[in-house]
Amino acid sequence: MQDRDVAECWEANADAWTRHVRAGFDIYRDALNTPAFLAMLPRVSGLSGLDIGCGEGANTRQIARLGAIMQGIDVAPTFVRHARTAEAAEPLGIVYQTADGTNLPFEENGFDFATAFMSLMDIPDQAKVLREAHRVVRRGGFLQFSILHPCFVPAYRKVLRDGDGKTRAVEVGGYFDRIDGRVDTWWFSTLSADAREKDAPFRIPRFHRTLSEWVKMICEAGWVIEQFAEPCADAELAEREPVVADTRVVPISLIIRARKPT
């Protein structure tokens, strides 16, 4: 699967995806992954940042509210259109454009930092986007990104539950199987049956790499890894939002921050 094919999948997903996440169906993002990402983020007030794979712009806006001067890029024009509409309704000074993370339309050393929320694992050439991010971030700047956890969301994953529905374990397999463009189809698990009648399931291209492959790509791109985080729902959140309770057994996402040496 090539970059063009991935872009076509996400463009087809973009309109329904935007409606669903803005209606609150992405509980993993809103209740767990984004709060954990922001908690790990260094101080960004007054810094210039680039959000790679910004989607409809919700997370880009979160960082802008922390005082960063943000730009966002995405391969899907419909996502960019929705992001611009949100910016027009509540201006935060964010500039959005349609662009590919493997060919960033920016000069070298133009940003203080870059972010990518759950997007890099959907890009065919992850090594190239890591190199491109390194090119456009100044010396001493950082890249922070989240991905599906390579160890716990590999080629095969099944949540095992007790009779009362409580998560008991997560069964995984195919960790060493390299996935290059397998298309998974799904809805947000919280989406109502009526909504599923109106919208086709999302088609998500998968490009699974092992944890060691990710570390190798990051280091070869010139980054120095600073910190990992594995978001885990606390007991109160798991009780309030049962859909994220499985993260008390194993994490579903991994957050990585890396620094460009001075």
Span 226-244, pLDDT tens digits: 999 999 999 999 999 999 9
The fraction of the chain above a pLDDT of 70, given in percent, is 100
Question: Is the predicted pLDDT of residue 195 greater than 90, yes or no?
Answer: no
Question: Is the predicted pLDDT of residue 250 greater than 90, yes or no?
Answer: yes
Residue 58 pLDDT: 98
Place 245 in a pLDDT band, splitting at 50, 70 and 90.
very high
Summarize the confidence of residues 107-134 as an average pLDDT: 97
Place 145 in a pLDDT band, splitting at 50, 70 and 90.
very high
Residue 165 pLDDT: 83
Number of structural domains the chain divides into: 1
CATH number (domain holding residue 215): 3.40.50.150
Torsion sign over Cα 122, 240, 30, 144: negative
Question: Is the predicted pLDDT of residue 166 greater than 90, yes or no?
Answer: no
Q: Which two tokens stand for residue 230?
A: 């594995």
Residue closest to 85 by CA, chosen among 116, 58, 117? 58
Q: Structure pTM? A: 0.96
Which residue has better confidence, 192 or 107?
107
| Three-state SS at 132 | helix
Residue 142 pLDDT: 98
Residue 164 pLDDT: 85
Residue 194 pLDDT: 85
Give the integer Cα–Cα distance in Å for 260 and 262: 7
Summarize the confidence of residues 6-35 as an average pLDDT: 96
Can you list the positions of beta strands (E) in 110-149?
Answer: 111-117, 137-148
Q: Which domain holds residue 41?
A: 3-259
